[in-house]
Homo-oligomer: A and B are copies of this chain.
Amino acid sequence: MSLRHAVLGLLSESPASGYDLMKLFNASLTSVWPATQSQVYGELNKLTTAGLVEVAAQGPRGRKEYAITHDGLTELRHWLTEVAPIGQQRHDALLRVFFLGILTPLEARTYLLTQAEAAARAHETYKQVDESTEWDDEMISVYGQIALEYGLRLSATMEEWARWAADEVTSAKARKASELARARHEAEQTELDGEPAPERPDDA
Q: How far is the CA of A80 from the CA of B143 in the complex (A)?
A: 37
Taking A157-B157, A176-B137 as contacts, is the C-beta distance between A147 and B98 under 8 angstroms?
Answer: yes
Taking A9-B98, A115-B85 as contacts, is the C-beta distance between A32 and B157 under 8 angstroms?
Answer: no
Taking A12-B102, A101-B139, A149-B161 as contacts, is the C-beta distance between A86 and B92 under 8 angstroms?
Answer: yes
Are B90 and A2 neighbours in the complex by a CB distance under 8 Å?
yes
Q: Residues of B contacting A108 with CB < 8 Å?
A: 143
Q: Is the interface of A mostly helix, strand, loop or mixed?
A: helix
Tell me the smallest distance from the CB of A131 to a CB of chain B, in Å. 18
Q: Residues of B contacting A175 with CB < 8 Å?
A: 137
Q: How far is the CA of A161 from the CA of B176 in the complex (A)?
A: 38
Q: Residues of B contacting A165 with CB < 8 Å?
A: 146, 149-150
Say yes or no: is A76 at the interface (Cβ < 8 Å to chain B).
yes
Chain A interface residue number, banded: 35 or more
Chain B: CB-nearest residue to A31: B88
**Which of B2, B6, B80 contacts A100, CB < 8 Å?**
B80
Within A82-125, the residues touching B (CB, 8 Å) are 85-103, 107-108, 110-111, 115, 118, 122
Say yes or no: is A142 at the interface (Cβ < 8 Å to chain B).
yes
Say yes or no: is A33 at the interface (Cβ < 8 Å to chain B).
yes
Tell me the smallest distance from the CB of A71 to a CB of chain B, in Å. 14
Tell me the smallest distance from the CB of A145 to a CB of chain B, in Å. 8
Q: Residues of B contacting A146 with CB < 8 Å?
A: 97, 165, 168-169
Are A93 and B98 neighbours in the complex by a CB distance under 8 Å?
no
